Amino acid sequence: MAIGSEEIFETLGMIHAQKLDIRTVTMGIDLHDCAGSDVKRVAQKASDKVMRQAERLVSVAEEVAQEYGIPIINKRVSVTPVSWIAAACDTTDYVPIALALDRAARELGIDFIGGFSALVQKDLSRASATLIRCIPRALAETSRLCASVNVGTTKAGINMDAIALMGQAMKEAADLTADSAGSACARLVVFCNAVEDNPFMAGAFCGAGEGDCSLSVGISGPGTIRAAVQALGRDLDLQTVSEEIKRVAFKITRAGELVGRKCAAKLGVPFNIIDLSLAPTPAPGDSVGDILEALGLDHVGGPGTTAALALLNDAVKRGGAMATSHAGGMSGAFIPVSEDATMALRAAEGYLTIEKLEAMTAVCSVGLDMIIVPGDTTPETLSGIIADEAAIGMINKKTTAVRIIPAPGRKVGDFVDFGGLLGGGPVMRVNTSSCALFVRRGGRIPAPLQGLSN
């Protein structure tokens, strides 16, 4: 597809006035050839390969950003799920691999490296169980490493044994980083129907269907969409509003693909996908919540919120899909609480609850994202929240996820500030009715009839 640079210049007003940016360029790197029995040797080979393949990622991204005048906020790497490359290791400690990957990211100036991951939707292999048990230490002893675990799919059902382990892992990771309000959990996400080409953290990994090395792009642009909706005024119907969102999403996607292709060409790797997602930041005016309120809601979380989000998500996908034949990843609208200033404010005001957020995840891109809960929340309650979200994804054939932070020592109403893109937000109330027996039953929730689609 031919993309002219003149299309970039149409977006200059969006960049300067409406905070349009490329949220991330993410290089996927296959590490299967690093497998072996000696964990230290595996760690060294993985680090060496990342250093070699991603050596120029940051410099090229900065060069292209300057050339086109579009900020590229994050430079990231995703690798083959570590549970796969560590499976032959004669150890129960995969933390050395985590440390090596984190060190490589730090030396390269990479913002995050994802792939300390396992896919356990049907059962727990020895390597997958080992990796899950290593997640708390791996995250507590690193700063740029991200971890993810896929616990269910529409085809396989939901692995409740894995979900029980993940509730415990979240709790332990938070406790190990109590001095920073459990910040390790901001780099841990639990999926249902995880995708293999996601460029966004904390859930990025280089899946089995990916090549040796490629480059993907995650775009952003909530401020641009909000400005377009506000410019329409209050009298136009929702179909007209949807058409305007589609038009702006088309422009944003074209700009993102041009930047991604340029970076890939300079790096000498294939261009993979562009993720069409609206990814907010804590900066004023860069909020998905602001878009929903511009559509006519007094407060995000009130009646009409789920319908407004459904309209937004669909319009972004329609507009983006017309602009590229390489759409992938999550592609839609993210609703992280702490990373979105308006969402965090409405949560603090009481308009936005975890239950309402769960309903919204049925129509958005991911799920319960960057939600801070009391530090005394039990592992079983965390597992129950994960199971609820996985059920939404399984039944609706969509990706859902949970990135939740049980902040040690914090109670409902406290405010936690993680800084940077992670932002900050209130500690939200959790329903404390016990689901411990349900979680401890274990086993697998069978796949729904929707999964019998062959």
Give residue 429's pLDDT.
96
Report how many helices (DSSP H) and strands (DSSP E) the chain contains, helices first: 16, 14
In a domain, 235, yes or no: no
**CB atoms closer than 10 angstroms to residue 293:** 21
**Domain-embedded: residue 222:** no
User: What is the distance between the alpha carbons of residues 291 and 103, in angstroms, rounded to a whole number?
Assistant: 38
What was the pLDDT predicted at 17?
Answer: 46
Q: What pLDDT is attached to residue 234?
A: 84
- Tell me, what's the pLDDT at 12? 52
117 domain-assigned = yes
CA dist., res. 81 & res. 131, Å (int) = 10
Q: What is the pLDDT of residue 333?
A: 81
Taking only the tens place, the pLDDT of each residue in 28-82 is 999 999 999 999 999 999 999 999 999 999 999 999 998 888 888 899 999 999 9
Instruction: Answer yes or no: is 84 within a domain.
Output: yes
Query: Is 257 part of a structural domain of the chain?
Result: no
User: Domain of 152: which CATH number?
Assistant: 3.20.70.20
Give the pLDDT of residue 6: 53
The answer to whether residue 279 sits within a structural domain is no
Beta bridge partners of 278: 333
CB atoms within 10 A of CB 196: 18
Q: Residue 348 to residues 39, 164, 343, 410: CA-CA distances in angstroms? A: 45, 29, 9, 14
**pLDDT given at position 4:** 52
pLDDT confidence of residue 235: 85
Domain limits at 133? 29-192
Place of tokens 């309402």: 356
In a domain, 261, yes or no: no
Say if residues 72 and 20 touch (Cβ distance below 8 Å). no
To which residue do tokens 């944003």 refer?
252
Is 330 inside any structural domain?
A: no
Question: Can you tell me the distance from the alpha carbon of 227 to that of 249, in angstroms, rounded to the nearest whole number?
Answer: 12
Q: What is the pLDDT of residue 19?
A: 59
Per the structure, how many domains does the chain have? 1
Which of 364, 432, 355 lies closest to 388, judged by CA?
355
Model confidence, pTM: 0.92
C-alpha pair distances (Å), 31 with each of 96, 97, 116, 235, 324: 15, 12, 12, 54, 29
59-68 pLDDT tens trace = 999 999 988 8
Residue by residue, DSSP assigns 341-359 as HHHHHHHHHTS--HHHHHH
> How would you write the pLDDT of the chain (454 residues) with one tens digit per residue?
454 555 555 555 555 445 577 888 999 999 999 999 999 999 999 999 999 999 999 999 999 998 888 888 899 999 999 999 999 999 999 999 999 999 999 999 999 999 999 999 999 999 999 999 999 999 999 999 999 999 999 999 999 999 999 999 999 999 999 999 999 999 999 999 999 989 889 899 999 889 999 999 988 778 888 888 988 878 889 999 999 999 888 888 888 888 899 999 999 999 999 988 888 878 887 889 999 999 999 999 999 999 999 999 999 988 888 888 888 787 778 888 999 999 999 999 999 999 999 999 999 878 899 999 999 999 999 999 999 999 999 999 999 999 999 999 999 999 999 988 888 999 999 999 999 999 999 999 999 887 777 7
Total Cβ atoms within 10 A of residue 431: 12
Our CA dihedral for 414, 415, 416, 422, rounded to 10 degrees, sits at 140
Element (H, E) at 270: none
The confidence score (pLDDT) of residue 9 equals: 52
> What pLDDT shows up at residue 16?
47
From 169, 126, 177, select the one nearest 149 (Cα to Cα). 169
Q: What pLDDT does 11 receive?
A: 54
Which residues is 24 bridged to in the sheet? 74, 218
